[in-house]
Amino acid sequence: MSAANDLKQYQGFIQTPSLFLNKNKLLDYPNFQFQENEKEIKLTKHPKENLMLGKRAEFYFVAYINSSEKYALQSENIQIYQNKITVGELDFLILDRTTKEIIHTELTYKFYLYDPNYSSVEIENWIGPNRNDSLSQKLEKLNNKQLPLLFKEETKQTIKALNLGSTVEQQQICFKAQLFIPYAKPKQQFQYINPANIKGYYINFNEYKGSDFQENEIHIPTKQNWLIAPNKDVQWNSHKDSLKSIAFQIEKKKSPLIWIKSGLSITPWFITWW
């Protein structure tokens, strides 16, 4: 994977908005604040080629912190033990050089599709492309396990052993996500999520095979490249040529992300197996 590709992934990660505009009853924690004048800093280190998408997002977050004038990384992936058994992990402890506070920050980068038939509760309808996770499940884990972990006695002792010179009481979230809505369904207003996170659409494989898309050019990014903003500088294939690759994923109950080019417009889509 090229250094230029890594840079595009990094920029895609940084430019993905926070899923929540501010604190709300779903997740009552402030957002981590990226500095506008630091968003285009060049990538000086590169991830391992086989690094998975979630770990890749962590790598780029650390790259941002390490290049920032405002922040300094104090520790990451801090394992918390109780009687030699792991009870949880803190993602990051970050020093805000302006306030001199050390802040516990939890990082999340997700892809969710809105299925209006999944539940009568709006927030529960944001589900993973393969239907094996959901936004509501992630919120429950953050609220009930990951963020309260900071205040457990075992965590306090672990942080004390790091000799940071300060206690850690402040918490933030860095919750980035790309959202996709049903194709050819009436648009709706969503109560809690940032509308800027809606990036594209989804359809099932049978619909994709239909005539609406036969004249379009298609690109199928690797999963690592799902972070990259759609652009023209990739290899494009015909709709017909894309079917075999997509069908292979569908048979394994995997919903691939594709880019569909129509004229000058390029839009990301998920093709679902369900």
pLDDT (tens digit, 9 = 90+) per residue, 208-222? Answer: 998 889 999 999 999
pLDDT values of the chain reduced to their tens digit, one per residue, 274 residues: 588 899 999 999 999 999 998 888 899 999 999 987 655 667 889 999 999 999 999 999 999 999 999 999 999 999 999 988 999 999 999 999 999 999 999 999 999 999 999 999 999 999 999 999 999 999 999 999 999 999 999 999 999 999 998 899 999 999 999 999 999 887 888 999 999 999 999 999 999 998 889 999 999 999 999 999 999 999 999 999 999 999 999 999 999 999 999 999 999 999 999 9
Nearest to 14 by CA among 93, 109, 98, 106: 109
What predicted TM-score, i.e. pTM, was given to this entire model? 0.95
**Calpha distance 220→268 (Å, rounded):** 10
**Calpha distance 25→41 (Å, rounded):** 34
**Calpha distance 153→80 (Å, rounded):** 10
- DSSP designation for 131: S
Q: Residue 152: what residue type? A: K
The number of residues making up the chain comes to: 274
